Structure 1
Amino acid sequence: MPKFDSQPLSRRTVLGAGAALAVSATVTGCSNAGRGGTSGSNDSAAKAKVRPAYVRYDGVKADLPGEPYGIPDGFLRYPADPVQAITEPPGDGKPIEVMTSTNTPIPPSLPQNAFWQQFNERVGSPVRLNLTPSVDYSQKFATAVAGGTLGDLFSIGNIPQKPQMLAAKAVDLTPHLSGDNIKKYPYLANLPETSWNAAIFDGKIYGVPIPRGAISSEVLYARKDILDAQGLPAELKSADDFVQLCKALTDKRKNRFALADLPTGFVRNMFGIANSWKEADGKLVSGFEDPAQQEALALVQQLWKSGYVHPEAFTSQNQDRKTRFGNGTGPLVVATFSGWPTYLQTMDEEAEIAIIPPPAHDGSGDGHTWLGAPTLSVTAVSKSAEDRVETMLAYLNYLAAPFGTSEYLFRKYGIKGIDYQVRDGDPVLTKKGFSETQLALQYQADGPWAIFLPERKGSTEACFNAMKEICPKALANPVDGLYSETSSRKGAQINRDITTVSEDIIQGRKKVSDWAPAVKKWKSAGGDKIAEELNAELKSSR
């Protein structure tokens, strides 16, 4: 097992992080942009030696238990008298400086944000946020590392020399969190065991994971109300059915394009392409190498040429596709289950969401959704805050307070009467609340996801049932939680290069036959080395 020394990091190494922080490029063999994830390094024995104890929180009973299906619990009502989980403010009166990314609009500043003001009071320390859109976070992070301005807490994804970087810049949390030590922070102890793999390097715990898993699986959202109005079914039996659905939904006179964004991942699901990697004959094989990739790209190219995809799909931002879905100009969109609440925010009261599972492209049965990674990212404590490490962990423990507690209610919904209203006994965000509460708290620390969608009657059941149908048979990435140094150094670039080729094929600038040489180049530029390193990690983890 390799040792990761706390050696100095060169500015070139740090700035070489590139886009690796913004996406899970370390272990992706297919396009999983938008799916977060980090990587751990050690064999299973070393991780088991320091892994925090797991103590499940059972303070509230789920209406829709997810445990038999490997999905989050579902809740139809918020407890009328939520439990106060934390009796003392976690802060020490001094500022807590946090650097993290966000996928939502930047919230109003502290003087104009009543939620943020009350949040600081409840924490017992002024929380200062350095928020950066996720697409720009990698460069911002690299600059902060080089300039020594990481703050007290920082989010970390995939960067070159990640183990060395953590050893140099982050506090070793092993004495505080390993084994039963974590019981001092009961809501961190409630995090799934597998999520901690992303935070353990060389037998040391270097951060607190943000758990996700099945909830971050990408699926095809559909505007059920629009489908119903046109007499169209929210189910598919083949790729031909998908094309016909897109044709029926597209109406350029209404400025409507069936697809709010590119459906490349969904199409790959129809062709049974692996979730990044698959094991074959004792080796790891990238999903890029699947011969079905060319058929999948040809189909997406057909959808693009036919005008069924929004024409700004290649240039727009994440929020744009949500807007298109919400206003009906893009009634189909690929997104994660976790995005359901924000998609509801974009829709009128009468609008409905349905999830369409991928069929096998040839009509022979079901396709294969890709299961979301166990961990979104990791929050580390900077060595500059080492003398306040217990305060930092208490703060993260506060943010991880689970569903059913008064802390969760406040963190997710803000101030009653200002940020949320009570509707049929449940909290529902107001427009002001949706704006004020976007402090990226869920990207600093979070408890296990809960399916609770009071914004729209029936939404909780719809989301739970869709996950129950899709996730138990979804394809996992066999190397989730494993680390490849070559991927951290080169993965972002070589994946970006091959993604450019796929986009050129879809737009007709290249031929489908250009895919095979692009894969060959990807393999020689680092793909084969990544496979070799990840395969070695995979074998040592068993």
Structure 2
Amino acid sequence: MNSPLHTNAVSRRRLLGYLGLGAGTLGLAACGGSGGAGGTAAGSGGVLTGAELAAEVEASVPNSSLEFLVEPDFPSVNGSTPGYVTMPDPLVDGVSEVPGSGGSYTVMSPAWWTSPPGLGDNAYYEAVNEELGATLEFQVADGNSYADKVQTVLASPKNVPDWMVIPSWNIPPRFVEGVGNVFQDLTDHLAGEGILDYPNLARLDPAAWEYSMFNGRIYGLPYPSELVTDAVFYRRDLFEELGVEPPTDAESFLEVLSEITDPGANRWGCENLWNTAQLMYALPPTFAERDGELVHRFEMEEFKEAIIWLTKVIESGAMHPDAVAGNDGAAKDRFESGQTLVMNDGVGGWHEALARVRPSNPDFDQMAMDLFAPDGGAPTLYRGAPVNIFSFLKKTDDEDQVREMLRIADWCASQFGTKEFDLLTYGIEGTHFERDEHGIPQLNDQGRSEVTSTYQFLAQPAIVNAKVQFPDYVEASSEWMARQSEHVVDPLFYGIQIQEPAEFGSLGQPLDDLVVDISRGRKDISELDAAVENWRTSGGDKLREFYGEFMA
């Protein structure tokens, strides 16, 4: 149950100091910190250390382990995601009892794919709800515009569903100011010995729980993140067909993009590669510490160099015209149809693309590039935050309802190798999938339509790569992340849940807009320095002071 914070003493001290805790506590011990009623974990007589938590969970679940139930075919390397290409046999029970007691709940959740049929027209929903002993009715919204949906719903508390999924990147400004008025404080249910009622949740890395705290209290249920969260993908099948090798530095990247571009064949080199440029030039999420000072990404020379590189990509004509125009919503469609051959995306998009395209194009081969610095040297990659997506329970005085929903979350957090994980991932055999000659579940049309990540967004076990229906993908992606793991470092404020004050909410927008204007040739790079100075005087220096408080 080792946490990345165990090996990052600086980040750990900052987090515990911010929460008003002593340095001797970790993990769920932090739940007893400031920001909520009471200073100790309910039922424990005090705070609980990570080691004590692990020991209690191990003792409470006979014949279980905090390690994975099944030994991975591709073990984790430096925190990379372990991979599985075979199905365990037999499957075991992830929970011992039906978690629900007849409750009925509305759930708002994003989808970056075609929304599945609703309750009443979805055999997958019906099957899972039956196993849960409760009815979850999903309100699925377009993931690409989900941030707007979240803000609209939160603006009117009466519209807040019983359970609400919010990706970390969609947490709105001023969230911490009102989180306790809208959502349930879970601290007293999960701190200390309380976590033992939810053994699957207890197996999660303490860093995930620390990151699920707002105002020093646990409000979020975590969907843990991966070590490396973003990748630069290319169509390996089409690269091989064209006789082109992947690039190895910034200059050869430009050459490759130009070489594979052929508008006459309806083929362009890439989608919008601004995220790729930021990865390549090792720009941090916010601030980095240089010579004892906090320096924002906007102030770094690498920021300017990344813009210049992106400008060269567009000037070469290699970026698809729709991407140049800002139409990124159809980027995956263009990439998957072969109109573009390079794009950046989250690593979760890799297997999702295979599931969409392989049934009609078995030769489709999406591959992630080994990342590199602009000069071709080793890259610097920043570790992903401990949690990628949160789910929140609507505030209620009904403690039995809270416990029922937490039992449901615990059921959803069952590991690979359990019957629960199998049902959530594949649905019902004969209805949603059939097994191939190797016993591997293969989704059919109904499965691809109905089986999605809706339940898994509520809570998730430690991330594993268990897409056994795509063994080539499991091998390629597991080995790719293991190679990248050698270059991963913690960002300066790793593991700390920092919500910037609302006054800084739009501070960076002028510079984001300027990146677009410069790279599209509407403005000159010489305008960047003045814009950065304006950013400083308009609030950037105050933002630096705010982040400086977390340096103590």
Class of the TM-score when normalised by the shorter of the 2 chains: 0.7 to 0.9
1:246 Cα deviation from its structure 2 partner: 0.5
1:160-203 per-residue CA deviation (whole Å, 9 max, x = no partner) reads 33333122222221221113321211111121111112222344
Aligned to 1:513: 526
- Whether 2:238 is the aligned partner of 1:226: answer yes
Matched, 1:62 2:72: yes
Maintained 8 Å contact 2:288/2:295: yes
Deviation, structure 1 residue 369: 3.2
Q: Do the aligned partners of 1:277 and 1:287 also contact (CA within 8 Å) in 2?
A: yes
1:502 & 1:59 partners in 2: Cα distance? 47
Identity of aligned residues (%): 26
**Where does 1:287-302 land on structure 2 (aligned, <5 Å)?**
287-302=297-312
Cα distance in structure 1, aligned partners of 2:541 and 2:476: 42
Q: d(CA) in 2 for partners of 1:397 and 1:483?
A: 23
Q: Post-superposition shift, 1:152?
A: 1.7
Does residue 174 of the first structure (1) align with residue 183 of the second (2)? no
1:491 CA drift (Å)? 4.2
1:458 and 2:435 matched: no
Alignment of 1:424-463 (within 5 A): 424-438=438-452, 440-463=454-477
| 1:42 aligned partner | 19
Which secondary structure state, in structure 2, belongs to the residue aligned with residue 99 of structure 1? strand
8 Å contact from structure 1 (residues 215, 449) kept in 2: no
Secondary structure of 1:110's counterpart equals: coil
CA contact (8 A) 2:79 2:485 kept: yes
Q: Which has the higher contact order (CA 8 A, sep 6+)?
A: 1
Whichever residue aligns with residue 448 of structure 1, its letter is A
- 1:371 and 2:371 are equivalent in the alignment: no
Unaligned runs of 5+ in 1: 1-39
The amino acid of 2:492's aligned partner reads P
Aligned to 1:268: 278
The structure 1 residue matched to 2:338, chosen from 322, 328, 349, is 328
Report which stretch shifted further, 399-408 or 437-446.
437-446
SS at 2:535 equivalent: helix
Contact 2:118–2:138 (CA under 8 A) maintained in structure 1: no
C-alpha separation in 1, matches of 2:493 and 2:445: 40
CA contact (8 A) 1:152 1:385 kept: no
Distance 2:541 2:165 in 1: 29
CA separation in 2, counterparts of 1:513 and 1:275? 24
TM-score by length of 1: 0.85
- SS of residue in 2 equivalent to 1:503: helix
Counterpart pick for 1:117 among 122, 126, 129? 126
Query: What does residue 111 of structure 2 align with?
Result: 102
Which is further off, 70-79 or 276-285? 276-285
The equivalent residue for 1:283 is 293
What is the root-mean-square deviation of aligned Cα atoms in Å?
A: 2.3
Q: CA deviation at 1:274?
A: 3.1
Does residue 412 of the first structure (1) align with residue 389 of the second (2)? no
1:245 pairs, out of 248, 256, 280, with 256
User: What corresponds to 2:403 in structure 1?
Assistant: 390
Q: CA contact under 8 A between 1:419 and 1:430: conserved in structure 2? A: yes
Q: Any idea what the Cα deviations from partners look like across 1:11-65, whole Å, max 9, x if unmatched?
A: xxxxxxxxxxxxxxxxxxxxxxxxxxxxx96256486534573552432221221
* 1:391 Cα offset (Å): 0.4
CA–CA distance in structure 1, aligned partners of residues 154 and 75 of structure 2? 42
Q: In structure 2, list runs of 5 or more residues that go unmatched.
A: 1-16, 32-49, 58-65
Correspondence list, 1:336-351, <5 A: 336-347=346-357, 348-351=361-364
Cα drift, residue 414 of structure 1: 1.2
Residues 452-531 of structure 1: pairs in structure 2 closer than 5 A: 452-485=466-499, 487-531=500-544
TM-score normalised to the size of structure 2?
Answer: 0.84
SS in 1 for 2:496: coil
Deviation at 1:439, TM superposition (A): 5.3
Shift, 1:331, TM fit: 1.5
- Letter matched to residue 474 of structure 1: V
Contact 1:327 1:346 in 2 (8 A): no
Distance 2:19 2:95 in 1: 34
Instruction: Name 1:130's counterpart in structure 2.
Output: 139
Residues of 2 paired with 1:421 and 1:322: CA distance? 28
Q: CA deviation at 1:153?
A: 1.6
SS in 2 for 1:443: coil
Q: Is the 8 A contact 1:160 1:489 kept in 2?
A: yes
